[in-house]
Amino acid sequence: MSKRNTNCSIKSHFIRTAIEEDKATGLTPHIVMRFPPEPNGYLHIGHAKSICLNFGLSKNYGGKCYLRLDDTNPTGENITYVEAIKANIKWLGFEWDNEPRYTSDYFGKLYAFAEQLIEKGLAFVCELTPAQMRDYRGSLTAAGSNSPWRDRSSAENLTLFREMKSGQHAEGRYVLRAKIDMASPNMNMRDPVMYRILHQNHYRTGDEWCIYPTYDFSHSLCDALDGVTHSLCSLEFEDHRPLYDWFVQHVHTAHNPRQIEFARLHLSHTVLSKRKLKKLVASGKVCDWSDPRMPTLEGMKRRGYPPVAIRRFCDAIGVAKTDSIVDLALLEHEVRSELNKSAPRVMAVLDPIRLVITNYPPEQEEELSMPKYPNECNSNERRSFTFTHDLYIERSDFHRDPPAKYKRLAVGRWVRLRGGYTVHCDDYTTDDDGRVREVHCHYDPHSLGVKPDGYKVHGVIHWVAKHTAWSAEVRLYEPLFLEEDADFLSEPTLNPHSMRILSDCQLDPSLKEAQGSFQFERLGYFCADSGLSSGGKKIFHRIVALQARTK
RNA sequence: UGGGGCGUCGCCAAGUGGCAAGGCACUGGGUUUUGAUCUCAGUAUUCGUAGGUUCGAAUCCUACCGCCCCAGCCA
């Protein structure tokens, strides 16, 4: 009997194992987790992994999950990011318990904890300059040495720390440090900074504070204050764990959170760090954080990625401690898989040429129809479209010298107009520059809905009646970077074709008022941009192309 | 050369001493009015390497090799 969990939606992994152990021993009967973004940038799919883990696991174990904005550094943090973060989490499909929390709400308590540590002789005010501090810290192989200010009396430390708080000192003049061990092989334990002076306005606390706690000090203690049982973070914090535990151990709190680290997400052909994404925006390589090419949640939303696809993706990639790069194809697979079920079908021609049916009366037209959701057995809704003698077809669906295995139109061949009749190509006309302008065909009036007898049909192509079609702009996207491991390169190569704009596409009339996502048959999934328009034209984004297998 | 981690199929990833799950990608067959979907089948004699323990090792031991992180008053 295998121990493997056969329920495919619940995958076993080391974090689950840890939580289950802690529940089994009675250590943490009620699970509490948190998602702790810093409001100094937008959320991306790497955050989505963390969101799915924290909210997903806590829900799964009947626990709670809080949203805590980790705003300990006023530089770059602001309310716009807070609002975007909240909206993105909701969009992804998660809800946090109670009101959002802010590390800045705990500034008073954290300050009291700091005084507590000073009184216990476990923290001191240091006046080494940053450069001196670096020297005193030692190196990876050499122990550091004690700061000359390390042995001040508690009373003096308290006085100075209160002066720091009351704004009597300039930035950089003093710093509060934990008194741990300058000879520790773990650099994080070499008397780390707990508070620094920053005469900056904080977007929430205004000018109330001019000293701000550092990540290590505030994060562990806020977790403890919130009663967090399992505090997930990424691998680079692994050797901060002793420090995390040190603060919790030496300050009086009611809870003992456990920090567990996992590998952050890397996606092929893109970058997933705030710093690099910021650079892309600042340099104008993309329009903004919501550019459909961006791996931000804003970007993916605009691009038309269904949130459920992102959740399934996060589920599929698993959780481990191995540095890895996940293939973008897996994300695209989840997007297609969802859209295949939910996106209504419609025909649209991106690069139009005319197809004239010579034996179809010019004044005649008829209404044809096809299933709207062919792969959704619960729906038999249909969509209708107009057939006439004058149509648009895709330029790439006609070839003067058809290559081998070409399953489309060429002179002397029959092809099915999707949802309509079969047509036989008789000839074509060209422009002055030699480009094909019009394809001339005759149709088989008995071929509607039946397999024609006596001749071979070379494939099915999409089309739209010229007089019902309307012109719109369609944007095609490709990955932002050429290299698979772009996230690990200092100067990855921007993909020159990351966006291609097609300005005169001919679409089915039903798309005029379109909202949401569609499958443009044989092409891919597309969505209408709610706001953008270009020269009065509506804009559609290609979410993802159809899987293209050429057998 | 200090400390902390990690190495299982092209990409992820289960596996915790009993004879290598699964997904993506790929390849071949079938269905199909989307070269889509769906469907069937195939794809690691081997788990970084080398030794050892054991009836039996990806799992235990030893040594080695490779990769990532840490010397911010960032998170």
Burial class (CB in 10 A: 0-12, 13-18, 19+), A17: exposed
Of A residues 206-225, those with CB within 7 angstroms of nucleic strand B are: 212, 214-216, 219
Residue A500 to residues A145, A392, A480: CA-CA distances in angstroms? 58, 21, 12
Q: Which of A547, A525, A208 is nearest to A342 (CA)?
A: A525
Domain boundary among A402, A431, A462: A462
Q: Is residue A544 part of a domain?
A: no
Residues A326 and A268 in one domain: yes
Q: Would you say residue A1 has pLDDT above 60?
A: no
Question: Once rounded to an integer, what is the mean pLDDT over residues A328-353?
Answer: 98
Question: Could you tell me the sign of the dihedral formed by the alpha carbons of A289, A292, A294, A296, in that order?
Answer: positive
Q: Would you say residue A2 has pLDDT above 60?
A: no
pLDDT value for A277? 96
What does the block give as tokens for A66? Answer: 């809080």
Indicate if CB(A408) is under 7 A from strand B.
yes
Concerning whether A274 is annotated as a catalytic residue, the answer is yes
Q: Are A520 and A502 in contact (CB under 8 A)?
A: no
Number of domains in chain A: 3
- Tell me, what DSSP letter sits at residue A418? T
Residues A225 and A207 in one domain: no
CA distance A355 to A369: 20
Q: Is residue A273 part of a domain?
A: yes
Question: What per-residue string of b and e applies to A63-76 under the rule 16 or more CB within 10 Å gives b?
Answer: bbbbbbbbbbbbee
Q: Is residue A57 part of a domain?
A: yes
pLDDT value for A10? 76
Residues A358 and A448 in one domain: yes
Q: Are A217 and A248 in contact (CB under 8 A)?
A: no
Residues A373 and A454 in one domain: yes
Model confidence pLDDT, tens digit, residues A20-53: 999 999 999 999 999 999 999 999 999 999 999 9
Residues A285 and A354 in one domain: no
Gap from A125 CA to B4 C1', in Å?
A: 28
In order, the DSSP letters of A262-330 are EPPP-BTTS---HHHHHHHHHTTSSSSTT-TTSSBHHHHHHHT--HHHHHHHHHHH---SS---B-HHH
Residue A111 to residues A116, A214, A225, A286, A316: CA-CA distances in angstroms? 9, 12, 13, 42, 42
Interface confidence (ipTM) of the complex: 0.97
Q: Would you say residue A276 has pLDDT above 90?
A: yes
Q: Which of A181, A193, A212 is nearest to A75 (CA)?
A: A212
User: Please, what is the average pLDDT of chain A?
Assistant: 95
Model confidence pLDDT, tens digit, residues A182-219: 999 999 999 999 999 999 999 999 999 999 999 999 99
pLDDT value for A5? 33
Domain boundary among A185, A213, A241: A213
CA distance A295 to A300: 6
Strand B: which nucleotides have any atom within 7 A of a protein Cβ? 1-8, 10-16, 21-29, 33-38, 67-75
Give how far the C-alpha of residue A220 lies from the chain's centroid of Cα atoms, to the nearest Å.
27
Concerning whether A264 is annotated as a catalytic residue, the answer is yes
Of A residues 185-204, those with CB within 7 angstroms of nucleic strand B are: 185-188, 192-193, 196-197
Strand A382-387 to strand A414-417: parallel, antiparallel, or no bridges (unpaired)?
Answer: unpaired
Residue nearest to nucleotide B10 (CA to C1'): A327
Q: Give me the CATH number covering residue A200.
A: 3.90.800.10
Q: Give me the CATH number covering residue A93.
A: 3.40.50.620
Model confidence pLDDT, tens digit, residues A400-420: 999 989 999 999 999 999 999
Model confidence pLDDT, tens digit, residues A109-143: 999 999 999 999 999 999 999 999 999 999 999 99
Residues A228 and A102 in one domain: yes
Q: Which of A374, A392, A391 is nearest to A383 (CA)?
A: A374
Residue A177 is part of which domain span?
123-213
Indicate if CB(A240) is under 7 A from strand B.
yes
Q: Is residue A307 part of a domain?
A: yes
Residues A182 and A230 in one domain: no
Residues A141 and A208 in one domain: yes
pLDDT confidence tier of residue A364, bands split at 50, 70 and 90: very high
- Lookup: nucleotide whose C1' is closest to A217 CA: B75
In order, the DSSP letters of A39-94 are SSS--BHHHHHHHHHHHHHHHHTT-EEEEEE-----TT--HHHHHHHHHHHHHHT-
Strand A352-357 to strand A390-394: parallel, antiparallel, or no bridges (unpaired)?
Answer: antiparallel
In the set A274, A302, A303, A312, the catalytic residue is A274
In the set A11, A38, A59, A115, the catalytic residue is A38
Indicate whether this model's pTM tops 0.90.
yes
Residues A129 and A278 in one domain: no
In order, the DSSP letters of A328-352 are HHHHHHHHHHHHHHHPPEE-EESSE
Indicate if CB(A104) is under 7 A from strand B.
no
In order, the DSSP letters of A436-455 are EEEEEEEEETT-TTSPPSSS
Give how far the C-alpha of residue A262 lies from the chain's centroid of Cα atoms, to the nearest Å.
18
pLDDT exceeding 70 applies to what percent of chain A?
98
pLDDT value for A378? 80
Model confidence pLDDT, tens digit, residues A501-534: 999 999 999 999 989 999 999 999 999 998 777 7
Q: Give me the CATH number covering residue A439.
A: 2.40.240.10
Q: Is residue A526 part of a domain?
A: no
Q: Is residue A339 part of a domain?
A: no
- Lookup: nucleotide whose C1' is closest to A332 CA: B24
Q: Would you say residue A61 has pLDDT above 90?
A: yes
Domain boundary among A213, A240, A263: A213
Residues A320 and A239 in one domain: yes
Residues A357 and A452 in one domain: yes
Residues A26 and A49 in one domain: yes
Q: Is residue A257 part of a domain?
A: yes
Concerning whether A38 is annotated as a catalytic residue, the answer is yes
**In the block, which residue shows the tokens 């799915």?**
A52
Q: Is residue A25 part of a domain?
A: yes
Residue nearest to nucleotide B70 (CA to C1'): A187
pLDDT confidence tier of residue A7, bands split at 50, 70 and 90: very low
Q: Which of A479, A452, A539 is nearest to A503 (CA)?
A: A539
- Lookup: nucleotide whose C1' is closest to A422 CA: B33
